[in-house]
Amino acid sequence: MLLPAFEYHRPTGLAEAFEVLDHYAGKARVLAGGTDLLVNMKRKTVAPKQLVGLERVAELLGVRAGNGRIEIGARETAARLAGAGGIARDLGVLAMAAAKLGSPQVRNLATIGGNLCTARPAADMPLPLLVLDARVVLAGSAGEREVGLDAFFAGPGQTVAQPKEILTKVVIDRAEPGTGGGFVKLGLRRTLEIALVNAAALLTLDVDGKTIKKARVALGAVAPTPIRAPEAERVLLGKVASDELFAHAGEAAKQDARPITDHRGSATFRLEMVSVLTRRALHQAWENAREQ
């Protein structure tokens, strides 16, 4: 499969990248890891005439902690995030999801910014970031804005980012003590598989080590965008954690999902899996929270 023709721009910094994007009036596309865009260009589903490579833009690299926040550069790869050991309590749930994305080779290329901007309903990294209440920073020549991830996705393949904007970083708050996360992905085979359903959970336990002070659940592949599961969260809040409670939350999560039937699975099957995966992700989160 050959790539169609295009012009390639290699800015060495963000300011220069914005200039190129402005010059082509938003018709130029940004290229990060290429694992999504180059595949689509080979399949001829998209044919941008201008590509702006981010490989020399160093401002988009690095994971920084400070002021109670953690900032993740948009070009950090799934492989690097899967191994983000130092800030495990905060980024553990993201690491779990990043480790399940694609294959080792894909993880070495695929970036967090690219995974968010593709806005695939089944993408893996949006879920941990939704339960972490992450925000993304969208920047352009006119300045930058911070958008909550729950308001970032607009539909399958669509986000609120303007064509002239670059997603520069993902921002999360540092986790409170007693916080743990879980991530579960169901595919038709173990690796190299886009999820049939995936789920992430985050629980913060009270000082008593039992009562759920904060609960977050996110689901993928069961709606036009990755979603939070407010019904499931409501069941959990303020209760004493237990596997029975997680089973209730799993049932409740079905009300949050709007799955479709496609060649990979029926809506009914997906709904059942929503409850199973929610329960499992919560159990994992609970175990991790108790270890903190």
Ligand X SMILES: Cc1cc2nc3c(=O)[nH]c(=O)nc-3n(C[C@H](O)[C@H](O)[C@H](O)COP(=O)(O)OP(=O)(O)OC[C@H]3O[C@@H](n4cnc5c(N)ncnc54)[C@H](O)[C@@H]3O)c2cc1C
For strands 153-155 and 143-148, give the pairing.
unpaired
Nearer to other proteins (CB atom), residue 26 or residue 83: 83
204 binds ligand X, rule: CB under 6 A: no
Return the beta strands (E) in 77-156 as ranges: 135-140, 143-148, 153-155
Q: Which residues are paired to 184 by β-bridges?
A: 199
194 binds, among other proteins, ligand X, none (CB under 5 to 8 A by kind): ligand X
Q: List the x/- string, 146-165, binding to ligand X by CB under 6 A.
A: ---------------x----
**One residue of 13, 15, 26, 42 binding other proteins per CB under 8 A:** 42
238 CB contacts (<8 Å, ≥6 apart)?
211, 212, 213
**One residue of 62, 104, 177, 209 binding other proteins per CB under 8 A:** 104
CA separation for the pair 10, 55 (Å, rounded): 8
Q: List the x/- string, 93-122, binding to ligand X by CB under 6 A.
A: --------xx---x--xxx-xxx-xx----
228 binds ligand X, rule: CB under 6 A: no
Contact 212, 234 (CB under 8 A): no
106 binds other proteins, rule: CB under 8 A: yes
**One residue of 30, 31, 123, 136 binding other proteins per CB under 8 A:** 31
Q: List the x/- string, 73-102, binding to other proteins by CB under 8 A.
A: ------x----------------------x
Which residue, judged by CB position, is nearest to ligand X in the bound state? 114
Q: Note the maximum CA span of the chain.
A: 62
We find the least distance from the C-beta atom of residue 63 to ligand X, in angstroms, to be 15
Return the beta strands (E) in the chain as ranges: 7-9, 29-31, 50-53, 63-66, 69-73, 135-140, 143-148, 153-155, 158-159, 166-173, 179-186, 197-205, 212-220, 227-228
If 0-12 CB within 10 Å is exposed, 13-18 middle and 19+ buried, where does residue 215 land?
buried
37 binds ligand X, rule: CB under 6 A: yes
6 binds, among ligand X, other proteins, none (CB under 5 to 8 A by kind): other proteins
Size of site (CB under 6 A) for ligand X? 29
108 binds other proteins, rule: CB under 8 A: yes
